[in-house]
């Protein structure tokens, strides 16, 4: 049985700029064939067990020749596999899609071409440059700048291209910027024509260099401005001063590693994106229902006496979620908890309770176990019965303290925290290249598991790999674990909330920008 090939445009780099159809193709692919310009975050959207094949090209070498890529697609589809060829930008704009589709057609292999958002318009947009403007340019040319000068002269009619449209966009032309500028001036463009080069547009590494045809080559050399970049020529470049928006966002320029479990990462990921950062999800923990008859029996006994409790202390969102999962499994009625006062460790836990119709007592000053005892200590009476639904790795401090105060404590480990089973070669590459700027830890287990997984992936000593990565922790306990592991936490959210963590990241980025501007 013959498979099918989807030739998909990945967009310019920001993972969310892929089309809905393109994402659907990735999610159903058996094999993903990708290049350097495809966002690593998109690779995580594959179904479990899918294969990834890197065929990208680097400036100094070709990993795989185009003819070999074409044949690879044929071979994979001939094995009955659903194949996605993921290409940066749009596959039909200098993407060699015609060659790939042509060979597939010759072999009778079905295929679809899924357009993507081209870097020719999206990258300038992220730099605040609209490629057309009512007052400055009503037409646009997209031109390859990748060829050698003699090939450029053969493929580009400079006398026609130079003044054919208001805006000229050159793709892959950084190394030829001097030749391109000279040709445009030679054929009629004024030397003072504005030029912008936008490198790694829409990503954390986005960098923009502005000049004129007369001086842009010198500026590129002085800044050691490297590809890949989009070159924009024309008066629309002047709009950048007014329309620049991405660089103004509080977390612009930062790629931030999120280590929370996949089920809980979305809130932090969304906030980082809203503030202009680039989140990279790498869940190092997973929460699961306890297994084994003995564990289940203990939970059933604890939740079978709901009417007996005077207090229920919820110390995490997971504690709430798994408590209700067990109630459902046991067929227990929440109304049996009518006697108990409900206490939440912090606002996120209180919200999780409110979503299930339970209103917690007033929140403690400190969003941790110590804060709960400080808040309710005067109301905790000897002989009262307390239920603690929590995880298997929770600290002993709270139950020990409550017992010390004379309360009868029932601990129910309603969930277990385990190390995830996923390795991530792309993450290692980003860390080795210094392209992860910060890592966030929301609990002690995320610290320990992160280092464990790095070692499992072959990193004998993870600490040097993280030497230049800003370590951001929620709460002093997580920070203490990071220090004990040999890390140097640079950011601490004193208040144990995600929003406090995000604000610390914003403050750090603002200080970094101020320091760089003063140099």
For residue 291, whether the previous peptide bond is cis, meaning omega lies within 30 degrees of 0, is no
**Of 4, 14, 30, 35, which one is the catalytic site residue?**
35
* Token pair for 8: 């998909």
Q: Count the Cβ atoms, other than its own, within 10 Å of residue 339.
A: 12
| 465 exposure class (CB count in 10 Å sphere: 0-12, 13-18, 19+) | middle
CA distance 34 to 51: 11
Asked if residues 391 and 264 have their Cβ atoms less than 8 Å apart, the reply is: no
- Scan for tokens 């409790």, then name that residue: 309
Tell me phi and psi for residue 3, to 5 degrees: -85, -155
Strands 229-233 and 278-281, by their bridges, are unpaired
**Is 429 assigned a catalytic role?**
no
Q: Count the Cβ atoms, other than its own, within 10 Å of residue 194.
A: 20
**Is 372 assigned a catalytic role?**
no
Q: The sheet that has 311-314: what strands, in order across it?
A: 285-288, 408-419, 385-391, 311-314, 341-344
**Of 52, 57, 295, 385, which one is the catalytic site residue?**
57
CA distance 118 to 101: 19
**Of 81, 172, 254, 413, which one is the catalytic site residue?**
172
Asked if residues 289 and 236 have their Cβ atoms less than 8 Å apart, the reply is: no
**Is 35 assigned a catalytic role?**
yes
CA distance 90 to 349: 44
Greatest alpha-carbon span in the chain: 93
- Scan for tokens 């999120």, then name that residue: 258
Tell me phi and psi for residue 240, to 5 degrees: -55, -40
Asked if residues 414 and 322 have their Cβ atoms less than 8 Å apart, the reply is: yes
Asked if residues 279 and 269 have their Cβ atoms less than 8 Å apart, the reply is: yes
Q: Count the Cβ atoms, other than its own, within 10 Å of residue 437.
A: 23
Residue 80: which region, alpha, beta or left (left: phi > 0; alpha: psi -120 to 50)?
left
3-state secondary structure 258-324: ECCCCCCCHHHHHHHHHCCCEEEECCCEEEECCCCHHHHHHHHHHHCCHHHCCEEEECCHHHHHHHH
In the 8-state DSSP scheme, what is residue 171?
Answer: E
Residues tagged active-site: 35, 57, 172
């Amino acid at each position: 049985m013959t498979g099918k090939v989807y030739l998909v445009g990945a967009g310019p780099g920001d993972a969310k700029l892929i089309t809905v159809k393109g994402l659907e193709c990735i999610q159903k692919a058996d094999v993903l064939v990708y290049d350097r310009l495809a966002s690593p975050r998109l690779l995580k959207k594959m179904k479990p067990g899918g294969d990834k094949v890197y065929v990208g090209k680097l400036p100094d070498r070709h990993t795989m020749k185009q003819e070999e890529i074409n044949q690879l697609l044929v071979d994979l589809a001939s094995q009955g596999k659903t194949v996605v060829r993921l290409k940066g930008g749009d596959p039909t704009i200098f993407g060699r899609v015609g060659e790939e589709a042509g060979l597939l057609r010759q072999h009778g292999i079905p295929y679809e071409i899924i357009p993507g958002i081209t870097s020719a318009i999206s990258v300038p947009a992220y730099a605040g440059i609209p490629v057309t403007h009512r007052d400055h340019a009503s037409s646009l040319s997209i031109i390859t700048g990748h060829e050698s000068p003699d090939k450029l002269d053969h493929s580009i009619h400079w006398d026609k291209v130079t003044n054919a449209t208001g805006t000229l966009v050159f793709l892959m032309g950084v190394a030829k910027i001097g030749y391109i500028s000279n040709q445009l001036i030679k054929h009629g463009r004024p030397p003072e024509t504005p030029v912008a080069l936008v490198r790694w547009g829409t990503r954390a590494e986005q960098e923009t260099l502005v000049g004129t045809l007369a001086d842009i080559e010198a500026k590129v050399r002085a800044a050691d401005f490297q590809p890949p970049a989009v070159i924009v020529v024309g008066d629309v470049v002047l709009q950048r001063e007014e329309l620049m928006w991405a660089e103004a966002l509080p977390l612009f320029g930062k790629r931030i590693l999120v280590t929370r479990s996949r089920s809980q990462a979305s809130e932090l990921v969304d906030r980082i994106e809203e503030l202009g950062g680039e989140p990279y999800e790498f869940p190092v923990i997973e929460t699961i229902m306890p297994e084994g008859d003995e564990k289940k029996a203990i939970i059933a006994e604890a939740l079978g006496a709901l009417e007996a409790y005077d207090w229920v202390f919820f110390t995490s969102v997971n504690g709430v979620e798994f408590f209700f999962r067990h109630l459902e499994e046991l067929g227990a009625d929440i109304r049996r908890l009518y006697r108990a006062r409900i206490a939440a460790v912090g606002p996120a836990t209180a919200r999780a309770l409110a979503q299930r119709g339970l209103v917690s007592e007033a929140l403690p000053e400190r969003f941790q176990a110590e804060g709960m005892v400080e808040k309710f200590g005067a109301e905790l009476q000897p002989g009262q019965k307390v239920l603690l639904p929590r995880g298997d790795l929770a600290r002993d401090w709270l139950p020990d303290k409550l017992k010390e105060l004379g309360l009868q404590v029932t601990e129910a480990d309603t969930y277990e925290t385990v190390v995830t089973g996923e390795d991530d070669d792309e993450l290692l590459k980003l860390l080795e290249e210094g392209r992860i700027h910060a890592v966030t830890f929301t609990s002690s287990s995320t610290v320990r598991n992160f280092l464990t997984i790095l070692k499992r992936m072959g990193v004998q000593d993870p600490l040097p790999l993280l030497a230049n990565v800003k370590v951001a922790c929620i709460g002093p306990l997580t920070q203490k674990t990071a220090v004990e592991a040999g890390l140097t936490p640079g950011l601490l959210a004193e208040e144990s909330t995600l929003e406090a963590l995000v604000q610390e990241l914003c403050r750090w980025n603002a200080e970094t920008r101020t320091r760089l501007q003063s140099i």
